[in-house]
Each structure stands twice: as structure tokens, then as C-alpha cells.
Amino acid sequence: MNYEEALDYLLNHLPMFQRNGAAAYKADLSNITKLCAALGNPQQHLKCIHIAGTNGKGSVTHIISSVLISAGFKVGIYTSPHYLTFLERIKIGNQLISETFVAEFVSKNIEVFKTIDASFFEITTAMMFEYFKQEKVDFCVIETGLGGRLDSTNIINPLLSIITNISYDHQQFLGNTLPEIAAEKAGIIKPKTPVVIGERQKEIQAAFIEKATKEQSPIFFSDEIVKVNSLENFNLNLTLFPERKNCVFTTDLSGFNQEKNLQTALASLLCLQKMIPEISLPEIEKGIKKIKETTYFIGRLMVIEKTPLVIFDSAHNEAGIRNLLAQIERFEFEKLHFVYGTVADKDIAKVLSLLPKDAIYYFCKPSVPRGKNALELQTEAAKFNIKGNVFDSAEIALSEAKSNAAKNDLILLAGSIFLVADVVSQFAVNGKVQV
């Protein structure tokens, strides 16, 4: 089996959340447990940092990874979904997993996959464990796929658990209230293992404290360790506690949401210092300077072109869109052209209520089966006095927006990771987006 055949099997012949939605969701961890047992439990040989949360998981994963790499470590990174290529999901630093490893792993274990009826994400997670074991990484930073308690990644015993924040997303799996969603995310808290909570949210912090107390796990809220005061022009102003030391670092990240993510990541790194003394303040300062380049981090507030300004962002739920719009207000532009698409299994009313009424909208469907029909999206948007035309694809919508925009306008493409994936390939060189 070559790579193309292995990829076809993974993407087209297995239950997969981005295609099948709820049908790909498993109610327990028995499959991943059996699969990893068949591989000799590679996850037991790894030193992991485990990250869950509604928003910010990917950013925190890459920030922490960049600092660990700066400190001299070989770091495995696991995130999802992907933009250009499946290989993005599993990488060491900024080097993607090889096509050869993927092909050999699938070929060697396909009968096991069939026997236990493994899903796409279960197989990919097991592949990640095996790859990082074989490559002898020093540490791996692992992002959950969905939720926490029942996520396939949740068979590890991490050095540190991190929960970025909680907001509404995937309610059909995780619950309809914030405390219910928080309880699912809190499922990654392990016995006697420290946990960092990124954002202090009064209505749900009790769920985290209760779980941590039950597991005898030290719990820290990020604002007890570090406070990000501002992030402007790539200058990060922060205060370290308890000494109240003020620092100003340079970073290549920008955006209101990245203030929160940097605070969560830096608090987590400072917690890890006791276990990994190489994480010094100078290494943190060095590590956050070139996060995108060091870890191949894409998809967040990507400035694609400057005249007119074209920005892609993966914001896809209420909290993410709210943060994105707050950041967009910091840019100078005359007219906003918004290329917008989403998936069908999300309640988008709250998102639509946030969108500016004076923008020009270009509605389109992400090219995954879960993508929401653009005509239906247009109809729902009209209820909120949001008007625009429908296009057959994100590529066509973006082209039309670029044709209509004046040089001082802003073109924003957002609403779904899959929407960004549909168009970002236009700007790739040798299979990678330049960061």
C-alpha cells in the first residue's frame, strides 16, 4: 500500500467526524485502548502535555511546543483538523510526519483496524503515539480532538493537563450547558497530575475544582501565575506572580484571542518548570518569538495579501467569532467583505447575531459533507438583517470579493476551519503555507 492508497483508506473508508459528524463519535475509549494495546501501548513511553478546551487549543499547543523546542528538546505536536495535508496533524517541530510512515503504519495494521472497527481519529491518534515513540521525542504536546473525557487522546498519563476555556460548541456530544461541557473537558484531569485552567469563568470553575479535588490533582488558574496586560504590535506585556515582575517580550502572534492563549501557555510553562528546569524565562522569551516558523502554525489571523488586506481565520463558534471581530476592529479599512461559511450541525444563531450588518457577505459551503448549504445560510442570515450573495465554493466567493474590494477594503474569510482549508492551498509553496 502506497501513501495515496493509505490516505484514501483513512479519509474515505472510515467513520470521520468532519464527514460523518455524530456517526463517527464513540461513546467510550474501548477502541483506542484495544488499538494501542495491539501496538504495544506506545503512549506509555511518551512524556505528554495534554490540552483540551473549546477555543485556543491549537494556539496553546504550538506556543508550548515552540518554547520546549527553544529549550533544546525534540517535540512531537498533535493537532486537528488539517488544512492542506493530512500530514499536518502529526509533526515534530515544523517537520510533518512522512508519507512513508503513514503508508507503512496503515498497511501493517489494517486488519487490526477492521477487526475493532476503528474510526479515522482513533487510527490517527494511535499512529501519532507510535510515530512519536519510534522517533524518540523528548516531549509531545497533544491537543484533544473533541471534548476530553471520551476523546481518543485521553488514554495518556500526562505531565500536565491544560483546559483553555469553555464556551458553546458541539453541544450534541458535550452537553447543553457550560457546566456540562466543562465536566466533559475536565475528564482529562488525571490523578495527582497538575492542571492549568486558562480562563477563570465563575459559572464553571467549580466543575474543575471538584474534579481536581477528586483526583488529588493540584489546580492552577492561569491568572494566578501570569497576567498578560496587552499584546500590541507583536509586543507582549505581562506580569509574573507572585513577585509581580513585569516583562515585555516579542512574539509573532497577534489578536485579542492570543492574549488569552499566551497567558494560558505561559502559565502552563511556568508550572512545568519544576519538572523541566530547562524552561527558563530566557528560553520562554526566545521560544515565543517565532512560534509560527518553529512549529508550522497556520490558520489563525493569516494575513494573505495586503492590498487589499485579505485575512483568513479559523474562528467557527460564538466565542471565536466574537474575539475575531474584536481584533478586526483594530485594523484600518473602509469596507468589510466577509466570505462566510459554516457546518450544518452548529447552532449559528448566536454567531449571526454578532456579525456586522454593514459588511458585504459572500455565502458559501465548506467542501465537506457536514458543510451548511449556502442558500440555507443566506436565508438564516437574512433574519438578522445580514445580506449577501451565494457562491458555489469558497474559492469563487473569495475571487468575487477580491474583484469587488477597493484597495483600502478588508476581505475576511472565516466561519469554519474547513472553509480556510478550501482556499489556503492557493497560497501554498511546495505543499506548505508560508508563515
Does residue 20 have a pLDDT over 70?
Answer: no
Q: Which helix (H) or strand (E) holds 77?
A: strand 75-78
Q: What is the pLDDT of residue 156?
A: 98
CATH code of residue 316: 3.90.190.20
Q: What is the pLDDT of residue 330?
A: 86
Q: Are strands 336-340 and 432-433 parallel, antiparallel or unpaired?
A: unpaired
Q: What is the pLDDT of residue 312?
A: 96
Mean pLDDT of 59-84: 97
> Is the peptide bond preceding residue 356 cis, with omega within 30 degrees of 0?
no
Does residue 169 have a pLDDT over 60?
Answer: no
> pLDDT tens for residues 404-418?
999 999 999 999 999
**Boundary (domain end) residue, out of 295, 320, 345:** 295
Q: What is the pLDDT of residue 170?
A: 47
Residue 89 lies in domain:
3-295
In this structure, the answer to whether residues 215 and 314 fall within a common structural domain is no
In this structure, what are the phi and psi dihedrals at residue 390, rounded to the nearest 5 degrees? -105, 140
Looking at the 3D structure of the chain, how many domains does it have? 2
76 pLDDT band, cuts 50/70/90, is very high
Global pTM reads 0.92
In this structure, the answer to whether residues 79 and 223 fall within a common structural domain is yes
Contact 90, 131 (CB under 8 A): yes
> pLDDT tens for residues 115-159?
999 999 999 999 999 999 999 999 999 999 988 999 999 999 999
In this structure, the answer to whether residues 191 and 109 fall within a common structural domain is yes
Q: Which contacts (CB < 8 Å, 24+ apart) does range 60-63 have?
A: 60/162, 60/164, 60/198, 60/261, 60/264, 60/265, 60/268, 61/141, 61/142, 61/143, 62/291, 62/292, 62/295, 62/297, 63/253, 63/261, 63/262, 63/265, 63/266, 63/287, 63/288, 63/291
**Boundary (domain end) residue, out of 250, 269, 295:** 295
Of 430, 428, 418, give the one whose Cα is nearest residue 21. Answer: 418
425 pLDDT band, cuts 50/70/90, is confident
CATH code of residue 254: 3.40.1190.10
Percent of the chain with pLDDT over 90: 82
Q: In whole numbers, what is the pLDDT of the chain averaged over residues?
A: 93
In this structure, the answer to whether residues 233 and 350 fall within a common structural domain is no
In this structure, the answer to whether residues 83 and 151 fall within a common structural domain is yes
In this structure, the answer to whether residues 114 and 249 fall within a common structural domain is yes
Q: Say if residue 214 is exposed, middle or buried (CB neighbours under 10 Å; 0-12, 13-18, 19+).
A: exposed
Contact 341, 315 (CB under 8 A): no
For 11-15, 209-213, 224-228, which range has the lowest pLDDT when averaged over its residues?
A: 11-15
> pLDDT tens for residues 358-392?
999 999 999 988 899 999 999 999 999 999 999 99
Of 164, 172, 132, 170, give the one whose Cα is nearest residue 47. Answer: 132
Cα-Cα-Cα-Cα torsion 280, 281, 283, 289, nearest 10 degrees, comes to 160
> pLDDT tens for residues 27-38?
789 999 999 999
> pLDDT tens for residues 332-367?
999 999 999 999 987 899 999 999 999 999 999 999
In this structure, the answer to whether residues 275 and 319 fall within a common structural domain is no
